[in-house]
Amino acid sequence: MNDLPRIQALRCFITVAREGTVSRAATLLHLTQPAVSLQLKGLEESTGLQLFNRTPGGFTLTEAGAALLPLAHRTVAASADFRTAADSLRESQRSTLRVGTILDPESIRLGPFVRSLATSSKKTEVVLRYGMSDDVLAQIGRGELDVCYYIDATPHECLGSGTLAERTIDNGKFLLTTLTRFDYRVIAPREWSDKVLGKGWADLVDLPWIATPHASAQRRLLDDIYRPMGTLPKRVAFADQEDAMIGLVESGSGLSLVRDDVLDRVTRQRYFVVADKLSLTCDLSFACLTSRRQEPIIARAFSVMQAVWDLKPGDTAPAPIEAARSRKSARR
C-alpha cells in the first residue's frame, strides 16, 4: 500500500457508496464527475484494492470496499475533530483584541472594559486605537481593528440597549449593540441668544459653525441635517476637543454641537447659550463585522461589554458614567 489516502478521496468513497452514483456524489460534494472518478481511481490504486463494482445501474461496494467503509467514516470524523481542535487552540492562543475607541475613556467605560478582559481567565491583551467614529468603523471593515465604539443618530426602529442589530454602513455589514443614548445640543455665543432661542435647524443655515474632522460623528450628523436642505453648514473654524470647541463658541466664532453630559460638567461661568429647540439624539454602540461576530475573542468582548454596562436585550439605556472634568476629548 502506498501513502495513506487523502481525506478528500475518503469523502468521495463514502459519498459514492451512499449515493450509488458518481453524478449524485459530485453534486453533493460540489465537485465535477471527473474529479470524483479521479479520486476513486487514486484511492483504489493506493490501496491496491477494487472498492466498487461498476454496473449500468450504478456503483456497489465490493467485499473489500464494505470492510473499509466504516474505517473511512472514522478517519473523516477524526479529521473534522482535528480541524475543530486546531481552530479552537488557534483562537485561544490569540489573546490580543484590537479596539477602536472614541470620546473620553470615562464616558465609554473603557477602564472597566479593559480591566475585565485583562483579569479574565483568558487574560486578553487589549490594544487601543483612538480615533473618530467613522474612521474606527472603517478600520473594522478593513480588518485593522476587531471591535469599536460607534456613534449614530438613533433610528426610529431602535430596539433599545443591549439588542444586537445588523447595519449596512458604507457597503459593510456590521453588528451593533447599543450601550447608551445621549443628546447633542447646539451652543452659541451668549450674544446670539435671539438667533438660536426658539429657532429650528433651517434658521441656523447662514450662521457660522465650528468644524470637526471629516470622520467625526458631529460632521456626519450636521451634514445629514443640512444636505436635504440643499446646503451644508458654513464652517469657519476647526477643533477636535470639546474644551476648544466651547472656547471658540464663547469667543463669538460660531455654533457647535456638544454632548449634553459635557455641558452638565461645565462648572465655570458660561459665556454661551444652549439652543432650546434643537437636539440630536444619538446611540453610543459597540460594533464588529457581522461575519466575525462568532469568533471567540469578539464574542467574549461583546459579553464583557454587556456586563460592564449591565445590559440585557430590551433594557432602557442607562445614564452615562460622568467623565472626569479634565481632558474632555471630542473625538467621536
Write the CA distances from 316 to 109, 154, 301, 313, 330, integer angstroms. 17, 14, 21, 9, 25
Report pLDDT for 92: 60
Instruction: Say whether both 120 and 238 belong to one domain.
Output: yes
Range of the domain at 123: 94-332
pLDDT in tens, 137-194: 999 999 999 999 999 887 545 555 667 888 888 888 999 999 999 999 999 999 999 9
Residue where a domain stops, chosen among 86, 116, 135 = 86
The average pLDDT across 289-301 equals 92
Instruction: Say whether both 183 and 320 belong to one domain.
Output: yes
The average pLDDT across 46-61 equals 91
Grid coordinates representing 212 are 470637526
**Residue 15 pLDDT exceeds 70:** yes
* Structure-model confidence comparison of residues 267 and 283, the more confident one: 283
Instruction: Say whether both 287 and 316 belong to one domain.
Output: yes
CATH of the domain at 109: 3.40.190.290
Burial status of residue 302 (CB atoms within 10 A of its CB: 0-12, 13-18, 19 or more): middle
Q: CA nearest 257: which of 182, 315, 323?
A: 182
Residue where a domain stops, chosen among 42, 61, 86 = 86
User: Does residue 2 belong to any structural domain of this protein?
Assistant: no
Burial status of residue 161 (CB atoms within 10 A of its CB: 0-12, 13-18, 19 or more): buried
Residue where a domain stops, chosen among 69, 86, 103 = 86
Q: Report pTM.
A: 0.65
pLDDT in tens, 215-252: 888 999 999 999 999 998 888 888 888 888 999 999 99
Write the CA distances from 191 to 211, 262, 326, integer angstroms. 20, 21, 27
User: Does residue 1 belong to any structural domain of this protein?
Assistant: no
Instruction: Say whether both 196 and 52 belong to one domain.
Output: no
Give the count of beta carbons closer than 10 Å to the beta carbon of residue 78. 11
